[in-house]
Amino acid sequence: MEQDQRDKRLKYLDINQVFHNKTTDIRLRCKQSNRACEEFAKTLAKARPKDAEGFEKVERMKEYVLKTSQLNDEILGLLDYMHGFLLDLGNDAQILIEGAVLRDKLMMQSDTIEMLTSQREEDFKTIYELRKDQINSK
């Protein structure tokens, strides 16, 4: 049971690294998408539609590229925020673990002191009874 308690405490320590490993691919795809959006935006800026329908189509594409780029930036910002948050969480977890280990040591010491005190009281009672018997036998 004590091992389970330790495992539960330690699970938060590597959460930041696990999150970073799982989001690396997402970051890469967002950055690639942003580069593609930049190139596509350059192409759209050079486009010279010949009619109103073509113009509307180009404008819709520009909006799409802009919104996609903004979404990618928001995703990257969210990942950065979560990375920092989880780093703080990991640091807090480390402090809590150290506190829990200290509490466990104090509890163990308290139990030991209680056991020694109880044993001492029993020994005093035994000595008292022996002395009493010794005095009564004289």
Instruction: List C-alpha distances in Å: 16 to 13, 81, 94, 138.
Output: 7, 12, 12, 77
* Structure tokens, 55: 């113009």
Per the CB < 8 A criterion, the answer to whether 14 and 93 are in contact is no
Instruction: List C-alpha distances in Å: 34 to 40, 57, 60, 70, 117.
Output: 10, 21, 17, 9, 71
- CA dist 44 and 40 (Å) reads 6
User: Residue 138 in 3-state DSSP?
Assistant: coil
Provide the residue ranges of all domains of the chain, joining segments of one domain with +.
2-137
What is the pLDDT, as a whole number, of residue 1? 55
What is the pLDDT, as a whole number, of residue 137? 81
pLDDT tens, the chain, 138 aa long = 566 666 676 777 778 788 888 899 999 999 999 999 999 999 998 988 889 999 999 999 999 999 999 999 999 999 999 999 988 888 888 888 888 889 989 999 999 999 999 999 999 999 988 888 888 886
Residue 72: what residue type? N
